[in-house]
Amino acid sequence: MSTFLIDYPFADRLYPRALEVVARLGQLGTTVILSDGDVVFQPRKVMRSGLWDAVDGRVLIHVHKEQMLASVQRNYPAERYVMVDDKVRILTAMKAVLGDRLVTVFPRQGHYALDAADVARYPAPDVAVETIGDLLELDLTSRLGQLQETP
């Protein structure tokens, strides 16, 4: 089973236009993947999906990503952050820490996002889209604010 998972073609499982979205967000600021999961399996999954290369290896993997914002701020200091996640619970936890410095983006895609009861338990994210690819259709600069990195 582990061989199957290690060699699984994760690039075939990316949501349509996901890599285009990463490239577009990279035009606004430094893109970083903050992921949670197994420390062996998750990096392999990110690499095999093509996302690792899309962000030039800027990948942070933690057991509970919402608890690692100090690491994010230390490694990638910025005035503002944008978090795209299909778990409203995680977006809410991160917003509680970063406040107005964080723009939360919720794609209604994936099994977590489709759990209406779970989604209803939390405040609405700043931006919601039906699919990750819909971010390409938004005026991201005005919608998310001009993202300025600190030196």
Q: Three-state SS for 22?
A: helix
Please choose, from the candidates 46, 16, 49, the residue with its C-alpha nearest in 3D space to the C-alpha of residue 33.
46
pLDDT tens, position by position, 89-146: 999 999 999 999 999 999 999 888 888 999 999 999 999 999 999 999 888 777 666 4
Q: Which domain holds residue 10?
A: 2-144
Evaluate whether residue 151 is within a structural domain. Answer: no
Per-residue model confidence (pLDDT) at position 62: 86
Q: CATH number for the domain including 39?
A: 3.40.50.1000
pLDDT tens, position by position, 70-102: 989 999 999 889 999 999 999 999 999 999 999
Of the chain, the end-to-end C-alpha distance in Å amounts to 45
pLDDT confidence tier of residue 10, bands split at 50, 70 and 90: confident
Bigger pLDDT: 62 or 148?
62
Please choose, from the candidates 39, 143, 128, 133, the residue with its C-alpha nearest in 3D space to the C-alpha of residue 91.
128
Evaluate whether residue 8 is within a structural domain. Answer: yes
Against a cut of 0.75, is the pTM above it? yes
pLDDT confidence tier of residue 11, bands split at 50, 70 and 90: confident
Q: Parallel, antiparallel, or unpaired for β 102-107 and 127-129?
A: parallel
* Cβ within 8 Å of residue 40, ≥6 positions away: none
pLDDT confidence tier of residue 9, bands split at 50, 70 and 90: confident
Which tokens hold the place of 118?
């779970």
User: What is the distance between the alpha carbons of residues 5 and 28, in angstroms, rounded to a whole number?
Assistant: 34
Question: At residue 148, does pLDDT exceed 60?
Answer: no
Evaluate whether residue 150 is within a structural domain. Answer: no
